[in-house]
A and B are shown apart, each in its own frame.
Chain A
């Protein structure tokens, strides 16, 4: 199975968040919990449903990521833009706070 992480938007500010291993929701995909099998994804989506019910997040879903020793990168570019921030305003979003995880948008 393709590695997956669970993402959503935070209810309060709408920011992009990922489910971390400790059950918290983080803006950084680098510390997202990575599921390597379906059962793990289902468990994470269950946690997400609880977080939705407790007004922490909205609209959770799982996305495919590619993982190597130093980075976690969404495979779809829409998710890459969500993870980093708008390519037109590189001072906004996570890209403003930390180094890009990989060459952005495959060099675009």
Chain B
């Protein structure tokens, strides 16, 4: 893992002191709210419905056990004993007081963490595949480049006041687990015919009120030229992106309005002017950062050890969990473990301090001290010996995080919605809770199979509803909560945006409607066809016809 050097530490410490001074001036009247608001936002401090909210960056979703223990400590000491893991691989605290926030940031700085650039019109936390460094299907560890981009973009003077926020995601695997096609810039690490490693560059993806799949503007960018190419892309956006209308200010609108060919030409022209400069990282500095992400020393082990085999036979619940929640590791004898933060009736992404501490302990003992946060609001233990899986499972059972539902209908991405968020139009968490309760029968969930359901409480789409196989969008209709269903979205390498099926459903009828959509799928699927494949074969019509048949 990357560790701060003296410069990083001093920089973060200075920033905390700066905010401490700003908070103190706000409380004594030296700063008005209008003056203070942009300053607090630059440090991840929002004012939500019931309290302040602090968003803490977890760069590319990677945490050590020490850092996770610190997150638990903060939840216990300064908040209401829980934290909320988000789709941007961040954690949010929902109840800190303004006075405590500088102290919380001091505590975070002790473990090389901060909240800088988790808000505002700047380059936000860089996200990556949660299986980075552990999966066999990647070309190299994408976190090396996520870290390089993080360092380059932190307080970058030219890009501190972009037209709008800017999100970058990196993956190095053909199976896109980082939703790169729905980021302002999505980077896919690829190999060209000559065997050289570089980037495929996608630009202009995003969700919100104008969802768009990113457009590929480069098939292959030599990897050592990444920063100059990013600079050229960001500069074109910074100069030409709209600042007159917040809703048209993201780079996706610029790419769309300019046309991808012209946009690409502008970027390439800018790049040719700057690429021979000094922005690109020298090879030795790249090597220095890469060394932090060198693969750990995996022991020479065999797959399917005796302990694992015995546990599968002895405990069907373990066998089901192993099948659904673990993923093939690059090293034989190891497994990637997904910890579902989606228990039946629970709040997607929430973890108590005790749960965080237990997971930190698991990571320390069984996962080479590493934890990952996924964009699907789960946690991952990337390096677990297969022989340890039964023990890890039993601990997860004891803390209520052993649901065998990764990738199933109850593994819901869900925004905080109107229970917390001042932008929301409707509640989203209670809908997700009722759906998981309706589908509580695990046998039924496994029979339904792969199904990504995502819920947002407003059109800003923090719950990624546009890319849910089933998406749910909360709307306000004359003062009542209503929910619109979309079908056919997907955030992976075969990206698509869901289509609205028809009129919205009331809060009372939305869960029935979701169940009906699932039943319609079961009725028309062929063999082992997944929900998404069935939808792509038959389209919206059969679903629409049957879903609204009774209402007609």
Contacts and interface: CB of A to CB of B under 8 A. Distances in A.
Contacts of A87: 419, 427, 430
B29 A55 contact: yes
Contact of A14 (B52, B347, B419): B52
A40 B503 CA distance: 42
A11 B480 CA distance: 30
A47 B420 CA distance: 27
Given A59-B33, A76-B479, A88-B430, A14 B418 contact: no
Contacts of B33: 52, 58-59
Contacts of B97: 12-14
Contact of B47 (A14, A52, A81): A14
B49 A81 contact: yes
Contacts of B481: 77, 108
A14 B95 CA distance: 8
A52 to B, nearest CB: 7
Contacts of B347: 88
Contact of B418 (A59, A75, A77): A77
Interface string B476-491: 0001110000000000
B419 A86 contact: yes
Interface string A52-75: 111100110000000000000001
Contact of A12 (B27, B28, B419): B27
Interface in B83-97: 95, 97
Contacts of A9: 47, 51
Interface in B460-490: 479-481
B335 interface: no
A41 to B, nearest CB: 21
Contacts of A54: 29
B99 to A, nearest CB: 6
A88 B433 contact: yes
Interface string B24-60: 0011110001000000000000011111100000000
Nearest to B31: A55
B49 A16 contact: yes
B98 interface: yes
Given A77-B418, A82-B50, A86-B50, A13 B29 contact: no
Interface in B115-132: none
A34 to B, nearest CB: 21
Interface residues of A, number: 27
A81 B51 contact: no
A79 B26 CA distance: 27
Contact of B52 (A13, A52, A81): A13
Which of A14, A89, A108 gathers the greatest number of chain B CB atoms within 10 Å?
A14
B332 interface: no
A92 B80 contact: yes
Contact of A16 (B26, B50, B419, B430): B50
B51 A86 contact: no
B50 A15 contact: yes
Interface string A31-42: 000000000000
Contact of A86 (B28, B98, B420): B420
A90 to B, nearest CB: 11
A58 B36 CA distance: 11
Contacts of B47: 9, 14, 58-59
B504 interface: no
A85 B94 CA distance: 12
A12 B479 contact: no
A16 B420 CA distance: 12
A86 B418 CA distance: 8
Contacts of B433: 88
Contacts of A81: 49, 418-419, 427
Given A58-B33, A86-B419, A92-B95, A15 B430 contact: no
Contacts of A14: 47-48, 50-52, 97-98
A82 B27 contact: no
Contacts of B95: 92
B51 A13 contact: yes
Contacts of B51: 9, 13-15
Given A12-B98, A88-B430, A92-B80, A108 B507 contact: yes
B429 interface: yes
Interface in A82-101: 82, 85-89, 92-93
Nearest to A91: B80
A1 to B, nearest CB: 18
A11 B50 contact: no
B455 to A, nearest CB: 13
Interface string B88-114: 000000010111000000000000000
Given A82-B49, A87-B419, A13 B98 contact: yes
A85 B26 contact: no
22 contacts: A12-B99, A13-B52, A13-B97, A14-B47, A15-B50, A55-B26, A58-B33, A58-B47, A59-B33, A75-B479, A77-B418, A77-B481, A78-B424, A81-B418, A81-B427, A87-B419, A87-B427, A88-B429, A88-B430, A89-B80, A89-B419, A93-B50
Given A13-B98, A14-B50, A92-B50, 7 more contacts: A12-B27, A14-B52, A58-B33, A81-B418, A86-B419, A86-B420, A88-B347
What 7 pairs between A and B have smallest CB-CB spacing?
Answer: A86-B419, A14-B51, A14-B52, A13-B97, A88-B429, A88-B419, A58-B33
